[in-house]
Amino acid sequence: MSSGHALANDPAMQEECNPFLSMARGFNTAADHLELDEGLRDVLRSPDRELKVSLPVRMDDGRVKVFTGYRVQHNTLRGPCKGGIRFAPDVNLDEVRALAAWMTWKCSVVNLPFGGGKGGVICDPRTMSKGELERLTRAYTIAIMDILGPDRDVPAPDMNTNEQTMAWIMDTYSMHARRTTTAIVTGKPLSIGGSQGRREATGRGVMISANQALKIVGLRPEDTRVVVQGSGNVGGIGALLMHQEGYRITSLSDMYGCIYNENGLDVPAVMLHLKETGRLEGYAEAEHIESSTQLELDCDVLVPAATENQITSRNADRIQAKLIVEGANGPTTAVASKMLEDRGVVIVPDILANAGGVTVSYFEWVQDRMGYFWTQEIVNSRLEQIMVQAFDEVAETAKRYQVGLRTAAYILAIDRVATVYRMRGLFS
């Protein structure tokens, strides 16, 4: 079910799927548990800064087209803003604002010295040439440059942006600053200051979260059937790493279709097929099933790792998994999350489960600033240490407050930011 389909002509569903309202619900529930006063709630809810920019770009046919971009800096109490930039036709300020706030809470859950930010440009990258995308990226970087900086705001890739986009941003910033400034973005190619293990980091974090959560539901990887929605950076790599760990991955999907094999997919072979053909379609050793039924398959663990609003009040009752590990940002609406938790389904929330990416982004920023680079083994072992500790702290908070893992993650994150606010006081 695409979010567009779910939203069509249904005001109640539109409200349920509004990312800012979802974020606000999570925030308010946690703030109630923490008994935060109204003033402090207002401080933590309000984005520090929202920038909207117009980006004139010369297209390949000689015309000039003006694009709109945003950068929202939600909170800098714990350090510079950190958060991706997405290129998509339907990006809007509400979405960027919600994602920026989620980044504040995500960085805080894993205890990184960062606040949250997010950026977006309204465009359809599928219809643009590489040259047009480069000019758009450079125009966007120049337009938001006054609020960027290794100590201010450090972007990263998100939907439809990648290592190449980060290289263009790094170059544009560096040419204006008149010195090479690698720590201005993360998710860069290795050759210009990227980190070992960054590409696999989010998927690895999903696997580490699943390993920890299995202890709660009393399963071992080798007895666990997993359905993964999405086969990209998070879903594909997450599935591969979980397969290597002994999990039985029974289903994978992409935006074109879905494959299923009850005995377990040969994930490396599926990934090879995907690399060669660009889609799962045509993979021989599996049944091809309707994508709309994938999330409802009989399985132990569900990993939604494609896009937001996939589990809503419309399909929550039909989900059979005992455990959901959220690889994507916002894949489960707040309403659906409550329906599932009421039935005893354990949900490892996005701000914990997919925090592996921002954690290794933090490592990349640290390495760039030191000018000293770590081995993949060091990166992976430090990532594991941070993810396991964060998971344990969230689980412990859940026990203390008698709440689910999502509310617990918000409580832990908001409490950390609130503590810094109280220590620093109000500057005026």
Binding mask 103-142 for ligand NAD (x = CB under 6 A): ----------------------------------------
Residue 427: how many other CB atoms lie within 10 Å: 4
Tell me whether strands 257-260 and 287-289 are parallel, antiparallel or unpaired: antiparallel
Which residue, 79 or 356, has its beta carbon nearer to ligand NAD? 356
Of positions 95, 153, 158, 300, contacts ligand NAD by CB under 6 A: 158
Residue 421: how many other CB atoms lie within 10 Å: 16
Residue 19 sits in the site that holds ligand NAD (CB under 6 A): no
> 């450090």: which residue's tokens?
154
Q: Nearest approach, Cβ of 321 to ligand NAD (angstroms)? A: 16
Which of 82, 106, 118, 338 is flagged as catalytic? Answer: 118
List the structure tokens of 367: 């390495």
Binding-residue total with ligand NAD (CB under 6 A): 23
Q: Nearest approach, Cβ of 208 to ligand NAD (angstroms)? A: 14
Residue 92 sits in the site that holds ligand NAD (CB under 6 A): no
Question: How far apart, in whole angstroms, are the C-alpha atoms of residue 87 and residue 118?
Answer: 11
Question: How far apart, in whole angstroms, are the C-alpha atoms of residue 19 and residue 148?
Answer: 25
In sequence order, what are the beta bridge partners of 258?
253, 289
Give buried/exposed letters for 155-193 (b at 16+ CB in 10 A, else e).
bbbbebbebebbbbbbbbbeeeeeeebbbbbbbbeeebb
Angle formed by the axes of helices 93-109 and 405-424, nearest 10°: 80
Question: How far apart, in whole angstroms, are the C-alpha atoms of residue 198 and residue 287?
Answer: 33
Q: Nearest approach, Cβ of 427 to ligand NAD (angstroms)? A: 32
- Order the strands of the 257-260 sheet from edge to edge: 287-289, 257-260, 248-254, 225-229, 301-304, 323-325, 346-348
Residue 209 sits in the site that holds ligand NAD (CB under 6 A): no
In sequence order, what are the beta bridge partners of 86?
120
Tell me whether strands 248-254 and 257-260 are parallel, antiparallel or unpaired: antiparallel
List the structure tokens of 237: 């790599």
Nearest to 78, CA basis, from 35, 119, 55, 109? 109
Hey, is 327 helix, strand or coil? coil
Q: In the annotation, is 130 catalytic?
A: no
Residue 181 sits in the site that holds ligand NAD (CB under 6 A): no
Q: Nearest approach, Cβ of 87 to ligand NAD (angstroms)? A: 11
Of positions 134, 153, 171, 254, contacts ligand NAD by CB under 6 A: 254
Question: How far apart, in whole angstroms, are the C-alpha atoms of residue 162 and residue 130?
Answer: 12
Residue 249 sits in the site that holds ligand NAD (CB under 6 A): no
Of positions 291, 309, 359, 367, contacts ligand NAD by CB under 6 A: 291
> 């039935």: which residue's tokens?
343
Question: How far apart, in whole angstroms, are the C-alpha atoms of residue 418 and residue 404?
Answer: 21
Q: Judged by CB under 6 A, which stretch of 175-183, 250-258, 316-324, 413-421 contacts ligand NAD?
A: 250-258
Footprint (CB under 6 A) of ligand NAD, residues 324-363? 327-329, 354, 357
Which residue, 230 or 404, has its beta carbon nearer to ligand NAD? 230
Q: Nearest approach, Cβ of 361 to ligand NAD (angstroms)? A: 8
Q: Please state the length of the chain.
A: 428
Which residue, 212 or 354, has its beta carbon nearer to ligand NAD? 354
Footprint (CB under 6 A) of ligand NAD, residues 296-315? 305-307
Residue 165 sits in the site that holds ligand NAD (CB under 6 A): no
Residue 196 sits in the site that holds ligand NAD (CB under 6 A): no
Of positions 31, 144, 228, 234, contacts ligand NAD by CB under 6 A: 234
Residue 23 sits in the site that holds ligand NAD (CB under 6 A): no
Q: Nearest approach, Cβ of 421 to ligand NAD (angstroms)? A: 26
Q: Judged by CB under 6 A, which stretch of 9-17, 20-28, 223-231, 401-409 contacts ligand NAD?
A: 223-231
- Are the beta carbons of 94 and 19 closer than 8 angstroms? yes
Q: Enumerate the active-site residues.
A: 118
Binding stretches for ligand NAD (CB under 6 A): 2, 158-159, 202, 229-235, 253-255, 291, 305-307, 327-329, 354, 357
